[in-house]
Amino acid sequence: MKVLIVGGGGREHSLVWKLNQSAGVDKVYCAPGNAGISREAEVVPIEVTDIPALVDFARKEEIGLTAVGPELPLTLGIVDAFEDAGLRIFGASRKAAEIEGSKVFTKNLLAKYDIPTGFYEVFDTPGPAREYIRKMGAPIVVKADGLAAGKGAIVCQTIEEADEAVKIIMEDRQFGDAGDRVVVEEFLTGEEASFLAFSDGRTVLPLATSQDHKPIFDGDKGPNTGGMGAYSPAPVVTDELFHQVMDRIMIPTIQAMAAEGRPYKGVLYAGLMIEDGVARVLEFNARFGDPEAQPLLMRLDGDLESIMEAVIDERLDEVSLNWHDDASICVVMASGGYPGSYEKGKVISGLEEAEAMEDVKVFHAGTAEKDGRVVTSGGRVLGVTARGSDIPDAISRAYRACDAIHWDGAQYRRDIGAKALKYLK
């Protein structure tokens, strides 16, 4: 079977890598791909938003399965378009993907079905939003309603910062149309965790636990990014909490989406805040997390293609997931200046040395090839991922690989996985 992966980041590289291991997969294509993906799949120069061209390519090449990585094509209806063309595709429909595409939709859904989250109000003009902020006080969170590449949620420690966040989103239009509305919501305290599950619209099959690191700097300081690293398992999610999340959040959300006429098929990713043994929803994503996909797929002991097929065919109840009894960590190496402005075209060295290390895989995100050399082409450049016997071992392997890789201005957090260590004493 021929498989097409839509996207060109680290998540998509990990999907290419994992699907290449499936017995039923003969060839993998990736659109548009990147320099690292081009070594493991045939890259196709079609952008993720060019859905008609992707459909035409899948028809022409007789693609047996397409898997969508990023959120944007999902919210634009790529799954609907492929299904209308009689093509098999793994991912959420346009109506289902609104759970990520609109924070207003999601908060209203959670409130309607009594799924735990923070208090909130929705505003389509700046004045009432600022009045509400003054009424509720700080700290508080201001979020752009639509997609903002993981950067549309602004945590504000003071009323002045919240006023500025409203200005950035609604007046300066930093996130474009995503800022037509804002959600002003409760600042939840505790420890964040990511919880991902496959769903075929009825059955919910949880993945192993994981934890992301959003802020750019060590100690969770600085502005939010698309994700600076992740690890699995996440010991903050105890067995008791795992069952609570399934019973109070994941299963009720899938049931709510079905009740709303938006059956959810694909991967549902809940960003959670955990405090005093209770989880509440920060946000939902309608796809694999990036960088959570990298350590999760390294730990998955099974055939990803057959799991995706079961989701499409609504027979997920026949599937069980198995995991390697170890740990994995992904450290994101980013361009200097990210998540703000940054330069591209920096030559990367040390990739072969890092890749040669035992139980290390370097997933490419923002890379390109120029004059036979790999260069930077994005904010998040590489996801250096390692497996180890436990979390400390995985941390050691990942950072040893990071230290081997160099380019002008490279930056990465030095504390990915540190939160887990306090649970292991």
The per-residue pLDDT for range 36-81, each reduced to its tens digit, is 999 999 999 999 999 999 999 999 999 999 999 999 999 999 999 9
CB 98 within 8 Å of CB 72: no
Radius of gyration of the chain (CA): 20
pLDDT recorded at residue 152: 85
CB 67 within 8 Å of CB 5: yes
Q: 389-392, long-range: CB within 8 Å, 24+ apart, which pairs?
A: 389/326, 389/327, 390/326, 390/327, 390/424, 391/231, 391/235, 391/327, 391/329, 391/417, 391/420, 391/421, 391/424, 392/421, 392/424
What share of the chain has pLDDT > 70, as a percent?
A: 100
What is the average per-residue pLDDT within 119-143?
Answer: 96
pLDDT for 397 beyond 70? yes
The neighbour count for residue 111, using CB atoms within 10 Å, is 12
Handedness of CA 41, 46, 48, 51 (dihedral sign): negative
Could you tell me the CA-to-CA distances from 66 to 19, 85, 346, 360 in Å, in that order? 11, 13, 32, 27
pLDDT level of residue 148 (50, 70, 90 thresholds): confident
| Exposed/middle/buried for residue 20 (C-beta within 10 Å: 0-12, 13-18, 19+) | middle
Q: Coil, strand or helix: which one is 108?
A: helix
What share of the chain has pLDDT > 90, as a percent?
A: 96
pLDDT tens digit sequence for 358-387: 999 999 999 999 999 999 999 999 999 999
- The residues, ordered by sequence, that sit 6+ positions from 165 with a Cβ below 8 Å of its Cβ are 142, 154, 156
Domain boundaries of the chain, sorted by first residue? 2-94, 125-180, 191-318, 327-421
- Specify the CATH superfamily of domain 125-180: ATP-grasp fold, A domain (3.30.1490.20)
What DSSP designation does 210 have? Answer: B
- List helix spans (H) across 192-292: 239-245, 251-259
Question: pTM of whole model > 0.75?
Answer: yes
pLDDT for 149 beyond 90? no
Residue 56: its H or E element: helix 51-60
CB 368 within 8 Å of CB 311: no
pLDDT tens digit sequence for 271-328: 999 999 999 999 999 999 999 999 999 999 999 999 999 999 999 999 999 999 999 9
Alpha carbon dihedral 301, 73, 386, 334, in 10-degree steps, equals: 180
pLDDT recorded at residue 224: 85
pLDDT for 425 beyond 80? no
- List helix spans (H) across 216-359: 239-245, 251-259, 293-299, 304-312, 351-355
Assign domain 327-421 to its CATH architecture.
Alpha-Beta Complex (3.90)
Could you tell me the CA-to-CA distances from 278 to 84, 125, 189, 265 in Å, in that order? 42, 34, 11, 27
**How far is it, in rounded angstroms, from Cα 330 to Cα 360?**
10
Assign domain 191-318 to its CATH architecture.
2-Layer Sandwich (3.30)
Max CA distance (Å), the chain: 60
Residue in the block written with tokens 């609504």: 314
Residue in the block written with tokens 């399965």: 65
Asked: is 2-94 a CATH 3.40.50.20 domain? The reply is: yes
- Look over the chain and give the mean of its residue pLDDT values, rounded to a whole number: 96
pLDDT for 27 beyond 70? yes
pLDDT recorded at residue 121: 96
**How far is it, in rounded angstroms, from Cα 288 to Cα 295?**
11
What DSSP designation does 227 have? Answer: -
CB 206 within 8 Å of CB 195: yes
**How far is it, in rounded angstroms, from Cα 200 to Cα 267?**
9
Domains 2-94 and 125-180 share a fold: no
What is the average per-residue pLDDT within 341-351?
Answer: 97
Phi/psi for 185 (5° steps) reads: -140, 170
pLDDT recorded at residue 423: 86
CB 303 within 8 Å of CB 319: no
